Amino acid sequence: MKISTSILYTTVVGLKLSLIALLLSSSSDTRSVKPSPSNNSIEQKVDSVLALMRLNEKIGQLVQYSGGWDATGPTSSQGDQHKLEKLKRGEVGSMLNVTTVASIRETQKIIMDNSRLKIPLIFAYDVIHGYKTIFPIPLGESASWDLELMQKSAQISARESAASGLHWTFAPMIDVSRDARWGRVMEGAGEDPFLNSKIGVARIKGFQGDDLSSEFTIAACAKHFAGYGFGEAGRDYNTVNIGVHELHNTILPPFKAAAEAGVATFMNAFNDIDGIPATGHKELQRDLLKGEWQWNGLMVSDWGSIGEMIAHGYATDKKHAAEIALNAGSDMDMESYAYEAHLGTLLKENKISVDHLDDAVRRVLRLKFELGLFDDPYKYCDEEREKKEVYTPENLAFAREVAKKSIVLLKNDNKILPLSKDIKSIAVIGPLANDKDSPLGNWRGKGDYNSAVSLLEGVKGMVGKNTKIYYEKGIDLTIPTVEPGSNQFLHPLKFNTTDASGISAAVAAAKKADVVLLAIGENAYQTGEGRSQVNIGFAGLQNELLEAVYKANKNVVIVLMNGRPMDLSRASEIVPSILECWHLGSESGNAIADVLFGDYNPSGKLPVSFPYHVGQEPLYYNQKNTGRPYSPNHVTFSGYRDAPKGALYPFGFGLSYTTFEYSDIRLDQTEMAVNGDLKVSVDVKNTGDVEGEEVVQLYIRDMVGSLVRPIKELKGFEKINLKAGASQTVIFTINAELLQFYTANNTWEVEPGAFTVWIGGDSNTKLKTGFSVVE
């Protein structure tokens, strides 16, 4: 159907584009994925809009700019003026970092008032663990092992974001990460592919719900595709050297689960994999994700990653980088300015194809239709809903619930915890004890500086008037390099290594108290993007403070605040109790007090292994055995002469104020067909004095394979609640899906043979049985 410019203009102005799309004829479908019948209506609309588009408008849909400027006022730079002119011409597909209903409405209005086709923008923001109400960092929240809890926290984050006008978050990060030196470990779910897959899907469901067009949901983004968590030496953005089987068996499973769960978008990774930057990796993006997996969502680059292929030495210039990226399957260019400058020329030179260009544009348009933006570009822009939905008492109450379930009790000798609310005196000591900012963690959305409940505030709110509280900071962890409350994201930290003048006051407080709560660890800017460290112990003068306080009072509880696994070897050796509290978000202090004083019995389990020493990193439980397995009695074994081989605190570990006993592991059959299933059961008893929750964990080993298999792999878990003295039988079903792996045949299959099964409370459990898979 041929339409004149004047008729097109009149039609677009007079009617919604969604209606136009139903009336106009469709162009041929060149997508790599055919739409399902239920999506035919959207596909017809997408093709109809595509048929109206000029080349510059198509390319514009693949451009994403960062905002953070006053779109309606005078532009502050030449770059801002460039963005404004591109918006007016409809040559921008998405904006990130434009927040609040007012700003989003005004920016959308530029497109709707000035552009020819008036294709609405998608507005995106890094809503990583909360928008305004801040939940625990993802690594901390993962320690809850509570999928329903994590789905609901993502749902609340989505509601707050959508109420503020946003449509899209760059979460969840589902990179398997096994190196505590990597600062971005705080943003994921830890070291295990199975746990990452389950948590990733839960969070995707929370963000997206059942209907992306709902004004309460936002599009999720599975990132970073792929291998980002495997950077050499734990350095951010670093090269990744892995084999194809490690890629498929360890790194890709969470992404496959996300694709099958219907995640709306993927983000590619900064790193290269065996010499090919992920942004330009055709085999991963176009062949596997869009081809074999038949995923029809939108692939966005990470910030500037298209242009960064030049620094990699993989592209000669931005034109070459744009060619590589589009051909590889990267749909949207985030802040590289490569697509807008060069795709038109590349098309004329036949270095990219119309099919690939149209495929990318379709994916952008499809998401906009799914979000309902063509029906109403301003549907998320409701100032009254923004006031009602964001940072509500109900949201904060749930943040406290999530936070307390994310806490892991690592050590509790002499049952020093829980504390009595009638205790006579408590010393609350440490650089993080009254810190109201660090608990918000890195990537804290729109969380206000100093808005978290501190440990000191939480303790004061829990005890009675007769309890004496002595507070001393002891030391400053860092020396300020920027003004308090300013954006510290891009500023390096400078640790205090000289001023120990406050330690004497801390020692005096410790001597007067019945118990010491020592708040040490990391502040919010020691972990996160670009925050890799070779030292994963206590920075600055924290070790000196710890030793001095412990010498004054042996009843020390370390309240650990951190975003990565830390070297706790010395602390674990001397102090009786350690409570892993991560960066718990807005309600941090209240949640910690709930656990300290027994209002909540801790149930968290570690999603990462804690080492004895940084030299063990990368450290993870599901290693391979090697030809010379560990032996403490012989020199020539695969271990260390100066430290244990395994973890100080292993994956899946976490104590409770009660105890649990596992017994009578049993199978309903000892042989299983390749495509069959069997059931394995275990009895769990609460052998303590109080009610408690336990995460029952299932591990499996394929004893002999066409490839060397891990010594143990998590394949199931269930969180149960037992009253004191009560028992429960927990049953797991083992099927082909749990046993298959990417074999030497370069395919996913179950290999017949012997398997061992363990069930227990952490990855070091000894209770086991076995079965065989037969043809």
What gap in Å lies between CA 283 and CA 248, rounded to an integer? 13
Question: Does the pLDDT value for residue 594 go beyond 60?
Answer: yes
| Phi, psi at 295, each rounded to 5° | -90, 130
Q: Is the pLDDT of residue 42 over 80?
A: yes
3-class secondary structure, 546 = helix
Residue 760's pLDDT is: 98
How far apart (Å, rounded) are the C-alpha atoms in residues 745 and 706? 8
Determine the Cα–Cα distance for residues 612 and 629; give it in Å rounded to an integer: 19
Is pLDDT of 734 > 80? Answer: yes
Domain of 709: which CATH number?
Answer: 2.60.40.10
Q: In this structure, are 680 and 542 located in the same domain?
A: no
Would you state the pLDDT for residue 633? 80
> Taking all residues of the chain, what is their mean pLDDT, rounded to a whole number?
93
Q: Are residues 432 and 574 in the same domain?
A: yes
Question: Do 326 and 339 touch, CB atoms closer than 8 A?
Answer: yes
Q: Same structural domain for residues 583 and 706?
A: no
- pLDDT tens-digit map of 693-702: 999 999 999 9
The pLDDT, as a whole number, for residue 634 is 79
The secondary structure of 197-223, three-state, reads HHHHHHHHHHHHCCCCCCCCCCECEEE
Give the integer Cα–Cα distance in Å for 186 and 173.
Answer: 10
Clarify whether residues 449 and 559 are in a common domain.
yes
Q: Is residue 754 part of a domain?
A: yes
Which DSSP state fits 26? P
Dist. CA 668–CA 678, nearest whole Å:
6
Structure-block tokens of residue 207: 């963000």
| 8-state DSSP, 695 | E
Both 432 and 500 in one domain: the answer is: yes
Write down which residue in 550, 582, 616 finishes a domain. Answer: 616
User: How many C-beta atoms surround the C-beta of residue 3 within 10 A?
Assistant: 13
Please determine, for residue 5, whether its predicted confidence score (pLDDT) is greater than 70.
no
Using the predicted structure, report yes or no on whether residue 36 has a pLDDT greater than 80: no
> For the segment 484-499, what is each residue's pLDDT rounded down to a tens digit?
777 766 778 899 999 9
Tell me the pLDDT band of 1, cut-offs 50, 70 and 90: very low
Confidence tier at 7 by pLDDT (50, 70, 90): very low
pLDDT of residue 125: 98
Cβ-Cβ contacts under 8 Å for 675 (sequence gap 6 or more): 736, 750
For CA atoms 298, 304, 309, 310, give the dihedral sign.
Answer: positive
Mean pLDDT over 518-530 rounds to 97
- Residue 388 in any domain: the answer is no
Percent of the chain beyond pLDDT 90? 89
Residue 1 within a domain? no
The domain that holds 473 is classified in CATH as 3.40.50.1700
Residues 522 and 466 both lie in one domain: yes
Query: Can you read off the two tokens belonging to residue 164?
Result: 């503020």
Contact 187, 528 (CB under 8 A): yes
Q: What is the mean pLDDT of residues 640-667?
A: 96
Q: Does residue 684 sit in the same domain as residue 566?
A: no
Confidence grade of residue 261 (pLDDT, cut at 50, 70, 90):
very high
**Residues 576, 474: one domain?**
yes
CA pair distance 183, 201, nearest whole angstrom:
23
**How many other C-beta atoms can be found within 10 angstroms of the C-beta atom of residue 661?**
12
- Confidence label for 70 from pLDDT (cuts 50, 70 and 90): low
Tokens of 619: 């450290």
Considering the domain architecture, whether residues 405 and 545 belong to the same structural domain is answered as: yes
Number of domains present in the structure of the chain:
2
Same domain, 595 and 666: no
Which residues participate in catalysis according to the annotation?
Answer: 302
- 525-530-535-537 Cα dihedral, nearest 10 degrees: 30
Question: What's the DSSP call for residue 600?
Answer: S
Tokens of 37: 């019948």
Strands (E) in 354-421, as ranges, are 408-412
Strand-pair partners of 730: 682
Element (H, E) at 326: helix 318-328
Q: How far is CA 92 from CA 104, 298, 340, 666, in A?
A: 14, 15, 9, 60
419 close to 515: Cβ distance less than 8 angstroms: yes
Does a structural domain hold residue 415?
A: yes
The H-assigned helical ranges of 492-631 are 503-512, 542-552, 569-574, 588-596
Q: How many CB atoms lie within 10 A of CB 400?
A: 23
Is residue 519 situated within a structural domain? yes
**Does any domain span residue 453?**
yes
* Pair (466, 607) in one structural domain: yes
CA–CA distance, 163 with 380 (Å, rounded to integer): 6
**HSE (side-chain half, CA atoms, 13 Å) at 278:** 31
Structure tokens at 734: 């083992």
Q: pLDDT tens digit string along 429-471?
A: 999 999 999 999 999 999 999 999 999 999 999 999 999 999 9
| Domain limits for position 475 | 399-616
DSSP 495: B
- Give the pLDDT score at 509: 98
Q: What is the pLDDT of residues 132-175, one digit of tens each?
A: 999 999 999 999 999 999 999 999 999 999 999 999 999 999 99
Distances (CA, A) of 402 to 190, 398, 441, 584: 18, 6, 15, 8
User: Does residue 324 form part of some domain?
Assistant: no
Residue 350 DSSP SS3:
coil
What value does the mean pLDDT take over residues 629-653? 89
pLDDT digits (tens, 9 = 90+) for 168-211: 999 999 999 999 999 999 999 999 999 999 999 999 999 999 99
Q: Give 168's contacts (C-beta < 8 A, 6+ positions apart).
A: 94, 122, 123, 124, 125, 218, 219, 221, 264, 265
For residue 413, report the phi and psi dihedrals to the nearest 5 degrees.
-65, 145
For 314-373, how does the pLDDT look when each residue is reduced to its tens digit (9 = 90+)? 999 999 999 999 999 999 999 999 999 999 999 999 999 999 999 999 999 999 999 999
CB count within 10 Å of CB 385 equals 18
- How far apart are the C-alpha atoms of 116 and 100, rounded to whole Å? 26
Asked if residue 16 belongs to a domain, the reply is: no
Domain boundary among 587, 616, 645: 616
Q: What are the beta bridge partners of residue 580?
A: 408, 560
pLDDT at 14: 37
- How far apart are alpha carbons 89 and 83 in whole angstroms? 10
Q: Tell me the one-letter amino acid at 390.
A: V
Residue 69 has a pLDDT of: 59
- CA 96 to centroid of chain Cα atoms: 19
Are the C-beta atoms of 430 and 466 separated by less than 8 Å? no
Shared-domain flag, residues 576 and 664: no
For residue 726, whether the previous peptide bond is cis, meaning omega lies within 30 degrees of 0, is no
- The string of pLDDT tens digits covering residues 599-630 is 999 999 999 999 999 999 999 999 999 998 87
Domain boundary among 616, 639, 670: 616
User: pTM of this prediction?
Assistant: 0.94
Q: What is the DSSP string of 32-96?
A: SSPPPGGGHHHHHHHHHHHHH--HHHHHHHTEEEE--S-TTS--SSHHHHHHHHHHHTT---EEE
